[in-house]
């Protein structure tokens, strides 16, 4: 399956995943606040990094209602150090 992913503009922690077959039938209020969304990209199932979202649940949700809405736990591709962390020789 190829996932087409959108980010909700007014609530950017929320994302919507769908597929080509359901793209044209996404409901207007699919995002929590306004429904306004912006396409992030398209990825084959194998390209989705583990932990991004549960692909099995996403596929079942897309099949039954046409989309899967999920909340991002983090946005960084590379995990950032905790605040207050200072590398050796640096200031916090």
Q: Would you place residue 77 in the very low, low, confident or very high pLDDT band (cuts 50, 70, 90)?
A: very low
Domain boundaries, the chain: 2-71
| Count of other CB atoms within 10 angstroms of residue 2 | 10
Q: Is the pTM of this model over 0.85?
A: no
On whether the CB atoms of residues 4 and 42 are closer than 8 A, the answer is: yes
**10-66 per-position pLDDT tens digit:** 888 899 999 999 999 998 889 987 778 999 999 998 888 887 888 999 999 999 999
């Amino acid at each position: 399956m190829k996932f087409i992913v959108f980010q909700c503009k007014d609530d950017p922690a929320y994302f919507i995943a769908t597929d080509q077959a359901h793209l044209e039938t996404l409901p207007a209020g699919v995002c929590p606040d306004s429904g306004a969304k912006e396409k992030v990209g398209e990825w084959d199932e194998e390209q989705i990094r583990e932990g991004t979202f549960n692909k099995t649940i996403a596929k079942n949700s897309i099949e039954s209602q046409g989309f899967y809405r999920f909340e991002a736990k983090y946005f960084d591709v590379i995990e950032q150090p905790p605040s207050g962390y200072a590398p050796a020789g640096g200031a916090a």
